[in-house]
Structure 1
Amino acid sequence: MPTATEPSTSARTAAGKAGYVLAPGATRKEALAKLTEKIAASNRGILVPCAQGSVAAYLTYWLDTVAVHHLRENAHTRYTTCVNRYLIPGLGKKKLTKLTAKDIRAWLNQLRTTCQCCTRGIDARRGQPHCCAAGQCCHKLLSPLTLNYVHSVLKSALEHAVREEEIPRNVARNVRTGTPRPRRFEPLTTAESHRLRALFELALHTGLRKGERLGLRWEDLDLDAGTAAIRRTLQRTSAGGLTPLPTKTRASERRIALPTRCVQSLKLHREQQRREREAAGTTWQHSRHVFTTTQGSPIDPTNLTRAFTTLLRNAGLRRIRFHDVRHSTATLLLEQGVELVVIKELLGHAHIGVTATVYAHVRLRLQRDAIDTLSTALDSPDTTETARSNGDEPPSCDALVR
């Protein structure tokens, strides 16, 4: 086997140092083949992860050379924030091959019980500290959803390390964080008139994601047939600004039916947009989007959220997240007895399990209502009297169910 002293076996690792890289294999031939592949990657300027290096070095390599090619820009930004804020400070100094499930469990427990104002120095940067820097800890803890997300990012990184044969197994999979309870939300049932009323009505009646609504173009709509084709989502990226991107998943690319009310409001919106185009004249931007600014340019998702919050405040309605409008659609459909598979297709979830998990508490409440209704029927006076008069005869169905 080649030794560490042979120049041909050196490669630049994720830690930035040139040195011998172990290429494991069942035979000498396989080991040499793996080593040659890594040396070639190093010569092309690609950092080679070193199993003897730190967790921080591998996470940096994984973000820069692997995740960046498989994630959307916004998702990659969230992963990077998670790695730099939680993973590297907590586990970064440990050796990749020495990381154990016990280490991860202890780190997660520390995250779960540590005030973030203290750990990240948030309070110290405030103009007037009112937490740790002032001697009064507010115990601002991470939510179970955030903990679960941080754990999932670590699992993804270690899973790739297993595929690259840097470590024998993914020890993060041996740590259970529990299933986080879905975030509670209050359904929205009313909306105020607005320039973008058609957009808000479409949101409430169809449950489309914000980016999907903003990404709609007129050629996606068939108002005569009452359908809409969901082909893209509009998002802001640091590189390209407002950019149309593919839908979140393959299942998200779908065709949905539009209710009559939405078809009517979209026709009115089309006439309104025509008047705005005439008023703008040569300054009009022909983006072909259904929902635009008064100058024809696509609407920034952040500006839409801001307008929605202002609308709620002016109407005297409770403040909710824009995404809660989507939840309102699913909740109202469930309460009307619509099948879960239909709601899954309308929302564009990849799997029906996602729909069932998010709205489990709604389904449980509906089950409880149904059971209470049945109990009332079973406990009715007619049922009791029928049971007494017939002796051992079972009560009739008419007596049990009204």
Structure 2
Amino acid sequence: MTTPGDTPASRRVRANGDGTVYQRKDSRWEAAGYVLAPGNTRRRVRVYGTTRKEALAKLTEKIAASNRGLPIPSAQGGVAAYLTYWLEHVAVHHLRENTHTRYTACVNRYLIPGLGKKKLTKLTAKDIRTWLNQLRTTCQCCIRRIDARRDQPRCCAIGQCCSKLLSPLTLTYIHSVLKSALEHAVCEEEIPRNVARNVRTGTPRPRRFEPLTADEARQFLAATRGHRLHALFELALHTGLRKGELLGLRWEDLNLDASTAAIRRTLQRTNAGGLTTLPTKTRASERRIALPARCLQSLKLQREQQQREREAAGTAWQDSGHVFTTAQGSAIDPTNLTRAFLTLLRSAGLRRIRFHDLRHSTATLLLEQGVELVVIKELLGHAHIGVTATVYAHVRLRLQREAMTALGDALNRP
């Protein structure tokens, strides 16, 4: 008669629902049991170990998670397959076209070559951290063969590495795209957790910009006088509107009697639709702003000028309803506006800056005039005042120094 201690380990009876454990012919131990799967169904899983105790521990862990209501991951493919699925079936419905284009370029250029061969369920924070560290120190000109595609190679292709490294801001962007994709995989119960959240890339320094000084701003406005888009440049420098918001402005958005403008839309060029009117960048960007007296006068002259252009164009006029249009009435391409802006900078003898730096110039000049941060935040359409405070921290620091100097002068007086 055998006792429980004499029963072979592979034949021990386990309680109902605890699964089975047995030794395979290759000497490994296999444990199998039913756990919760996506869709509130049950699925039989198998785990393996070099010992019975190891296989049983793995199965017990899965059953315990199942009892807590956590479905077992169902993803069997690689990271590349999931990222492709996420871009084509998920992100495309939630992102603007230009943002989706940037996400696609990021996935195809960095994520798939670096992590695409990994199994989605086996991707770890260590894998991501190791890959990001490698990406941080790898010359992109060498690895992407940028120089080899030039007509006359001048660096990496001829053995002279140019050390073209990715900026911290780009690395943070790549990491954020991966986090977004894995976050959706968690929502779809493909993986139990977002391992990319356990990786820290550090906070990149804000992109440096060189706003116009008060003297340069006056010089620029003087150079725009007589230009057919003088009202646009004056409005940009007085209100800090984005390029797309200026070009998307319609006459119906203006109330010249009340001196206000409603910012409801933005004009962008997309690959599929060409020049397209879209909602504002964020919900906070949809706002109503006050118009200064100088801009009111310029807008009235702009309306008169547009009427003359309408009469001159005759039947060729395209009534788009926009405040700022071409001589034929159609919307202005953002690239053409940038080209005209750079031409004006050269004619004024000013340094080259981005059009977006007009927006930074507005905020900087307002801060230097003592305008409260919350007022600037509402004017610029930032979602949170923390964004305004972070972007213009250098200006506030300079104002603090000036204030301390003024206080010191006051305290030193007899």
Give, in whole Å, the separation in 1 of the partners of 2:166 and 2:402: 34
Give, in whole Å, the separation in 1 of the partners of 2:231 and 2:39: 66
Residues 36, 42 of structure 2: 8 Å contact kept: no
How far does residue 223 in structure 1 lie from its aligned partner after superposition?
1.1
Q: In structure 2, what is the equivalent of residue 56 of structure 1?
A: 80
- Aligned to 1:225, the other structure's residue is in SS state coil
Q: Deviations over 1:238-290 (max 9, x none)?
A: 22211111111111111100011111111111111111111111111111100
Paired amino acid for 1:236: R
* Moved beyond 3 Å, runs of 4+: 24-29, 375-378
How far does residue 138 in structure 1 lie from its aligned partner after superposition?
1.3
Q: In structure 1, what is the equivalent of residue 41 of structure 2?
A: 31
Q: In structure 2, what is the equivalent of residue 282 of structure 1?
A: 315
How far does residue 89 in structure 1 lie from its aligned partner after superposition?
0.9
Q: In structure 1, what is the equivalent of residue 93 of structure 2?
A: 69
How far does residue 27 in structure 1 lie from its aligned partner after superposition?
7.5
Give, in whole Å, the separation in 2 of the partners of 1:122 and 1:321: 26
Q: Unmatched 5+ residue regions in structure 1? A: 2-23, 34-48, 383-402
Q: In structure 1, what is the equivalent of residue 274 of structure 2?
A: 241
Q: Unmatched 5+ residue regions in structure 2? A: 1-16, 18-33, 44-72
Paired amino acid for 1:335: E
Give, in whole Å, the separation in 2 of the partners of 1:323 and 1:144: 21
Aligned residues: percent identity?
83
Q: In structure 2, what is the equivalent of residue 347 of structure 1?
A: 380
Are 2:356 and 1:323 aligned? yes
How far does residue 302 in structure 1 lie from its aligned partner after superposition?
1.1
How far does residue 366 in structure 1 lie from its aligned partner after superposition?
1.7
Q: List aligned pairs for 1:133-152, cutoff 5 A.
A: 133-152=157-176
Q: Deviations over 1:63-85 (max 9, x none)?
A: 01110000010100000001001
Give, in whole Å, the separation in 1 of the partners of 2:38 and 2:190: 18
- Aligned to 2:193, the other structure's residue is in SS state coil
- The partner residue of 1:167 within 188, 191, 195 is 191
Paired amino acid for 1:164: E
Q: TM-score, normalised by structure 1?
A: 0.82
Distance 1:287 1:29, change over 3 A: closer
Give, in whole Å, the separation in 1 of the partners of 2:188 and 2:296: 52
Residues 117, 123 of structure 1: 8 Å contact kept: yes
Q: In structure 2, what is the equivalent of residue 259 of structure 1?
A: 292
Are 2:157 and 1:124 aligned? no
How far does residue 211 in structure 1 lie from its aligned partner after superposition?
0.7
Paired amino acid for 2:350: L
How far does residue 25 in structure 1 lie from its aligned partner after superposition?
5.9
Paired amino acid for 2:330: S
How far does residue 29 in structure 1 lie from its aligned partner after superposition?
8.1
Paired amino acid for 1:252: S
Q: In structure 1, what is the equivalent of residue 337 of structure 2?
A: 304
How far does residue 28 in structure 1 lie from its aligned partner after superposition?
10
Q: In structure 1, what is the equivalent of residue 121 of structure 2?
A: 97
Give, in whole Å, the separation in 1 of the partners of 2:340 and 2:325: 13
Give, in whole Å, the separation in 2 of the partners of 1:103 and 1:241: 40
Are 2:230 and 1:206 aligned? no
Q: In structure 2, what is the equivalent of residue 37 of structure 1?
A: none
Q: In structure 1, what is the equivalent of residue 248 of structure 2?
A: 215
How far does residue 114 in structure 1 lie from its aligned partner after superposition?
1.2
Are 2:139 and 1:112 aligned? no
- Aligned to 1:279, the other structure's residue is in SS state helix
- Aligned to 1:184, the other structure's residue is in SS state coil
Give, in whole Å, the separation in 1 of the partners of 2:360 and 2:293: 21
Q: Deviations over 1:348-375 (max 9, x none)?
A: 1111121112112222222222223333
How far does residue 179 in structure 1 lie from its aligned partner after superposition?
1.3
Paired amino acid for 2:306: Q
Give, in whole Å, the separation in 2 of the partners of 1:88 and 1:374: 57
Give, in whole Å, the separation in 2 of the partners of 1:176 and 1:29: 33
Paired amino acid for 1:222: N
Residues 159, 170 of structure 1: 8 Å contact kept: yes
Paired amino acid for 1:247: T
How far does residue 314 in structure 1 lie from its aligned partner after superposition?
2.3
Are 2:343 and 1:333 aligned? no
Paired residues in the alignment total 344
Between structure 1 and structure 2, the one with the greater Rg is 2
- Aligned to 2:284, the other structure's residue is in SS state helix
Give, in whole Å, the separation in 2 of the partners of 1:81 and 1:307: 29
Residues 211, 301 of structure 1: 8 Å contact kept: yes
Q: Deviations over 1:317-338 (max 9, x none)?
A: 1100111111111111111111
Q: In structure 2, what is the equivalent of residue 186 of structure 1?
A: 210
